[in-house]
Structures are given as C-alpha cells and as structure tokens.
Structure 1
Amino acid sequence: MSECERARPARAFGFGLWWTMLTPVGKQETPMNIPAPPSSVLRLPEVRERVGLSKSSIYAFIAAEQFPKPIRIGARAVAWRLSDIEAWLASKSEQNSSPKLSVKENS
C-alpha cells in the first residue's frame, strides 16, 4: 500500500478533518523540514548574547550599515549567519587592539 493510499483516521469536527485530508502520512524530505546545522544561524536572542547589544542597538547599527543584515528564514522570522556575526566581532576586536592615540613624549 502506497503512502497516498493509506488514510489517516478522519476527525469529525473542525479543522482536524480538513487537515488530515491534506497532510501526508509519512514525513517527506523538503527544504523546510531538513534541519540546518545547529550553529549555522542565530536568532536575535543568541545574537544579543554574543555581541552584548540590545535589540534596538542592533537594528540601529543595521540601518547605519555597521552590522550584518539578517536573512529571512520565514514569513515573519529572521536570523543571522554565524559566520557574519563572528566576522563582525573579529573586526571589532581588531579595531580595539589597534592604537587609537599617539602619545607624544616631552623631551
């Protein structure tokens, strides 16, 4: 018996009957249900924790083109590439390690 021929038990009322008629019995391999590597993208709370900035500061830096832009992962969801965040942090640490002031010695 193929997957299409197997039927799920129908529910008598509400959304359940319609939904069971449309959903396949087995899980299919589609791009939406193939999990991404766990560390390849970060959601906003994880980005905030890594960079130490507030949500409004992150979006202000994005508007000023001083922070990586997020990628859309859903209709109402965004995430940041881990590699972009790590590169941004590395660039900030390089800026902090470079000398900012030249000190003149009095002779």
Structure 2
Amino acid sequence: MDATGFGRAWIYALMAKGEFPKARKIGARAVGWPSEEIDRWVTERMEGRQ
C-alpha cells in the first residue's frame, strides 16, 4: 500500500483482474509481494506501459 498509494481493497481488485502482481503467502495469516515485482509494476505505470 505504501509503494502504490492504493488501499488494500483496490490492490486485491487489481489482482483479481490480473492487473497487479499476485500476493504470496508468507505466514498463516499473512501475504506479501516481492519488492522487485512491485517496483517493476510501479515503473511500468509511470512509463505508460500498463
């Protein structure tokens, strides 16, 4: 959420549409995203390569 400025619900909506990197399970009740994937996603949006 910090890297994108989006809220949790919007991130999950984008994931469901295939427009955001998929979360990975990192614990019993926790998920995360590799920072490289998020950085690439943000860079692509800034360069207009959606």
TM-score, normalization by structure 1: 0.44
RMSD: 1.2
How many percent of aligned residue pairs carry the same amino acid? Answer: 37
Structure 1: state its 5+ residue gaps: 1-47, 97-107
**Alignment coverage as a number of residue pairs:** 49
Q: Which protein has the larger Cα radius of gyration, Structure 1 or Structure 2? A: 1
The equivalent of 1:53 in structure 2 is 6
* Distance across 2 between alignment mates of 1:86 and 1:93: 11
Deviation at 1:75, TM superposition (A): 1.6
* Distance across 2 between alignment mates of 1:75 and 1:52: 26
TM-score, normalization by structure 2: 0.90
Structure 2: state its 5+ residue gaps: none
Greater relative CO (CA pairs within 8 A, separation 6+)? 2
* Distance across 2 between alignment mates of 1:93 and 1:56: 21
* Distance across 1 between alignment mates of 2:8 and 2:27: 19
Q: Secondary structure at the match of 1:72?
A: strand
Structure 1 runs of 4+ off > 2 angstroms? none
